[in-house]
Amino acid sequence: MAEISIRKVSKTFGKTTVLGGVDLDIFNGEFVVILGPSGCGKSTLLRLIAGLEEISAGEIAIAGVVVNALEPRERGCAMVFQNYALYPHMTVAQNIGYALKVAGVARAERQARVEATAKSVGLTEYLDRKPGQLSGGQRQRVAMARAIIREPRVFLFDEPLSNLDAKLRVQMRHEIRRIHNRIGATSVFVTHDQHEGMTLADRLVVMNKGSIEQVGTPAEVHDRPASVYVAGFIGSPAMNFLPGQISLVRRGVLLENGTLIPLAQMPVLEDGHLVQLGIRPEHARLTPRGRGVIEAQVDMIEDLGAQRLCNLMFEDMPFCVLIEARPPLPAGTPVGLDIPAEHIHLFDAASERRIEIALPLPVAAPAEALTG
Amino acid sequence: MRRAHFKFSWIAAALLAPQLLIVFVFFYWPSAQALYWAFTLEQPWGGGNTWVGFDNFRKVLSDPYYWSSVRVSVIYALATTVLAIGMALTLAIFVDRQLAGYRAYRVAVIWPYAVAAPAVGLAFQFVFNPGAGIFSYINAVAPGWWDLSQNPWQAIAAIVVAGAWKQVAYSFVFFLAALQSIPRSLTEAAAMDGARPLRRMIDLQLPLLTPTFFFLLVINITDSFTDSFGIVDTLTGGGPFRATDLLVYKIYADGFRGFDYSGAAAQSIILMLLVMALTFVQFRYIERRVHYT
C-alpha cells in the first residue's frame, strides 16, 4: 500500500490554478524527489501534504488515512524548510526538543533524545548556542535534527539545500541520503536542482505548470524522457532538438532543410508526421566537414576543464556537442555532425510527448511495490 | 555609511534658522529660565529675585503633597502602560491573525493617536460624567455610586482609561509591525512541531516581541509622565483633593495657580531629569541588549 496517496489533487489561489489534478503514489520508505522550475507547483504540493495549505479538490491519504481535514500536527509529517525556520530565541537544544516539549515528553527523556539526535548529526558541541551564532551548514543540521527527533512517518524537504554554497550542498546532500538510509522513513524532497534530484531520488517526479510530466527512477527519466519538457529539463547541458518529419521511404527523419537523419527502427507513424528529434550533447559526435549527416558551423567553444562544450549553429538553430578533445576550431569553421541512431529521442511535434522507437525496456518498480 | 560633509554656507544657516529658533524659544530658553528660577526665589508679581541655592529642591522634596503626587504619577504611569500595552498587543494579535473585520479596525485603532490630549480628556468627560452618559444609568440604580469629582480612585481610573486609550494606537502600530516581521515559516515550523495557535503565541510570538515590548514600555512610561497634562486638566483638574495631581499637572498648578514659580521650576527640573534618565535607559540598555539576529 502506498504510504502517501495523492488523488486528483488540485489547488487554486483565487482564480489562479497552481495544481491541476495531480495523481501520485509514494511508497513506504521511498525517497521521492519532486523536481521542477520555480512556479511549477512543487512546493505547493509538499505544503498540501504537510497540511500548511488547504486542498481545493481531491484527496490526500497518509498511511491509509485521508488527511484533508487534519491539522499539520495530526499528520505525522516533519518538514525541513528552505530558510531553516529555526526559532531564533531558543538554543539549538531547545529548537531540536521543541516538538517533544509540545508533546509533553518528560524533561529527562527529552534531554536524552535531544542529545542522541544532536550527536547523530554532529551538533553535540553547539547545543547551547542560538541559531544566530551558527553557520549555514550547522543551521541546516539543526533543522534536520528537529525533524528527525520526532521519528515521523514522513519527512518533507522544501528545497533545504538551496541556501548553501556549492560544496556544502553536495556534503549535505550525502548526509540527507545517509540519514534516509539509516532511518528509512518515507521522504519527499522538493528541489529545482536536477543534480539533487538525480542523486537523491529513488524515484523522480518531474513537474511542469501544475501537473506531473513524468514519474520514474532517475535513470528512466534521463534515458527515456516522457516529453520534450522533461528531455530539455533533465541533463546538462540540455538536449538538442531538431524539428522534422517522418519519412517512411527513406527510413528516417527529414529535417526542414532536406537533410535526412536515419533511424535504426521506424516508429508506427504515417509518412510526413511532424516530430521533434532529440539528441543529447554527449551523444552527438563532431566529424570533419562532409563526413557527418549534418553540416554545421562553430559558434564558440567553452572549456569546462574536463570537457569542451562546442556551441554550433545548424541553419539558425543552436546545437551543442560535448567533446573530450581540444580541437583548434575558430568561430565560423564548418564541421560535420554524426547523430547515432541508437541515441535518438523522438517526440510528437503537436503533443510534445515521447514516441517509442525501440521496444520499451522493462520498467523498474520500487522494491517496496513488489514485495509489499 | 559615508557621511556627507558640507562647508559652512549662508544658505544652510538660513535654512536651519527657523527650526533652531523654534527649539531655542520653546525649549532651551524656558529650560534655562526654569533652571535659573529653580535656584532662586522668584517674586510672584515680578520685581527681583534672591539666590537660594538648593532651598527650592529641599522644600519640594520635603513636601508630603509632592510625594503623594509622585505616588499617583507612578500609579498612573504603570496602569496606563500596562493597560495600553495589553490592549495594543491583543488588538495587534487579532489583526495579525486576520480575524474578521481586521482591515476596518486596523485603521480605526490608529486614529486616537492623532487626537490631542485635551480633546481626549473632553471626550472622556462626557463618557465618565456621573449625570449623563453610560454611568448615569449606574447612578440611577445605585445613586451616587459613580462620581469622579468625589471618589479619588474613580478619578484615577478615569484618567488611566483616557490616557491608555490614547496610547493604544502608538503601541499597536509597533506591535503589528513586529508581529508581521516574524517569518511565516517560523509559525509553520511550530505548527509542524505540533504547537496549536495559543501555544505558538506563547512560545514563539511573545518572546520574539520582547524587543518591541521593552521599547514600548519605556516610551509609554515617558509619555505618561509628560503627555498627561491635557487629560488631567480637562477631566479632573487634579482633584478630588489632589488625587489625580500628577507631577506635570502639579507643576502647572503650583506655578500658574499658586504663583510659586520657583517651586514649580524645581519640580520641572526633577521631572526633566527623570525623563532624561528613562531615555538614557532606553537608548543605552534596551535598544542594544534585547534583540535577536
**Average pLDDT value for residue range A258-269:** 87
| pLDDT attached to residue A45 | 93
- pLDDT higher than 80, residue A94: yes
- Contact B192/A89, CB-based, under 8 Å? no
**Which residue would you say has higher pLDDT here, B292 or B145?**
B145
- pLDDT higher than 50, residue B61: yes
- pLDDT higher than 60, residue A59: yes
Confidence label for A331 from pLDDT (cuts 50, 70 and 90):
confident
Confidence label for B287 from pLDDT (cuts 50, 70 and 90):
low
| pLDDT attached to residue A371 | 47
Confidence label for A46 from pLDDT (cuts 50, 70 and 90):
very high
Residue pair B166/B173 in contact by the 8 Å Cβ criterion: no
- Contact B208/A88, CB-based, under 8 Å? yes
Q: Where are the beta strands (DSSP E) in chain B?
A: 40-42, 49-51
pLDDT tens, residue by residue, A213-248: 999 999 999 999 999 999 999 988 899 999 999 998
Question: Which residues on A lie below 8 Å from B194 (Cβ)?
Answer: 73, 99, 102-103
Fold match between domain A2-231 and domain A237-355: no
| pLDDT attached to residue B135 | 79
A253's CB contacts (< 8 A; 6+ apart) are A242, A244, A245, A246, A247, A260, A261, A263, A275, A277, A344, A346
CATH class in words for A237-355: mainly beta
Residue A334, H or E segment? strand A334-338
Burial string for B24-46 (b: 16+ CB within 10 Å, else e) reads eeeeeeeeeebeebbbbbbeeee
pLDDT tens, residue by residue, A174-185: 888 988 998 888
| pLDDT attached to residue A24 | 93
| pLDDT attached to residue B151 | 82
- Contact A52/B188, CB-based, under 8 Å? yes
Most confident by average pLDDT, A356-370, B93-107, B167-181, B223-237: B167-181
Q: CB-hemisphere CA count at 13 Å for B280?
A: 6
**Which residue would you say has higher pLDDT here, B102 or B232?**
B232
Domain A2-231 fold is: Rossmann fold (3.40.50)
CA–CA separation, A217 vs A362, rounded Å?
Answer: 12
A263's CB contacts (< 8 A; 6+ apart) are A251, A252, A253, A341, A344, A346, A357
- pLDDT higher than 50, residue A370: no
| pLDDT attached to residue B122 | 84
- pLDDT higher than 50, residue B293: no
Confidence label for B253 from pLDDT (cuts 50, 70 and 90):
confident
| A:60-119 residues touching chain B, CB 8 A cutoff | 71-73, 77-79, 81-83, 85-89, 98-99, 102-103
- pLDDT higher than 90, residue B63: no
Residue showing cell 501555544:
B199
Q: Hey, what domains does chain B have and what are their CATH numbers?
A: 34-289 (1.10.3720.10)
Confidence label for B240 from pLDDT (cuts 50, 70 and 90):
confident
**Which residue would you say has higher pLDDT here, B288 or B39?**
B39
| pLDDT attached to residue B29 | 92
| pLDDT attached to residue B194 | 87
pLDDT tens, residue by residue, B2-14: 566 667 788 888 8
Question: Which residues on B lie below 8 Å from A103 (Cβ)?
Answer: 194
| pLDDT attached to residue A230 | 94
**Which residue would you say has higher pLDDT here, A116 or B292?**
A116
A95's CB contacts (< 8 A; 6+ apart) are A86, A87, A131, A142, A146
Confidence label for A253 from pLDDT (cuts 50, 70 and 90):
very high
**B52 grid coordinates:** 537660594
Residues of B with CB under 8 A from a CB of A: 183, 185-186, 188-196, 199, 203-204, 207-208, 210, 292-293
* Percent over 70 (pLDDT), chain B: 94
Count how many residues are written for chain B: 293
Taking the CA of residue B200 and the nearest CA in chain A, the distance in Å comes to 10
Partner B contacted by A134 (CB < 8 A): no
**Average pLDDT value for residue range B205-234:** 86
**Which residue would you say has higher pLDDT here, A166 or A243?**
A243
| pLDDT attached to residue B85 | 93
**Average pLDDT value for residue range A118-131:** 89
| pLDDT attached to residue A277 | 93
| Whether the predicted interface score ipTM is above 0.85 | no
**B224 grid coordinates:** 505618561
CA angle B62, B45, B268 (to 5 degrees): 40
CA–CA separation, A185 vs A188, rounded Å?
Answer: 10
ω into A72 cis (within 30 of 0)? no
**Which residue would you say has higher pLDDT here, B42 or A104?**
A104
Confidence label for B289 from pLDDT (cuts 50, 70 and 90):
low
Query: Considering CB atoms only, which of A72, A83, A132 is closest to B192?
Result: A72
> Best residue in B188, B193, B206 to probe A by mutation, most A CBs within 10 Å?
B193
**Average pLDDT value for residue range A7-24:** 90
**Average pLDDT value for residue range A110-120:** 91
Least confident of A60-74, A187-201, A314-328, A350-364: A350-364
CA–CA separation, A342 vs A319, rounded Å?
Answer: 19
Delimit the domains of chain A by residue range.
2-231, 237-355
pLDDT tens, residue by residue, A283-323: 999 888 888 888 899 999 998 888 889 999 988 899 999 99
Least confident of A116-130, A333-347, B40-54, B165-179: B40-54
| pLDDT attached to residue B290 | 53
Backbone angles phi, psi at A246, to 5 degrees: -70, 130
Confidence label for A188 from pLDDT (cuts 50, 70 and 90):
very high
| pLDDT attached to residue A101 | 92
| pLDDT attached to residue A316 | 86
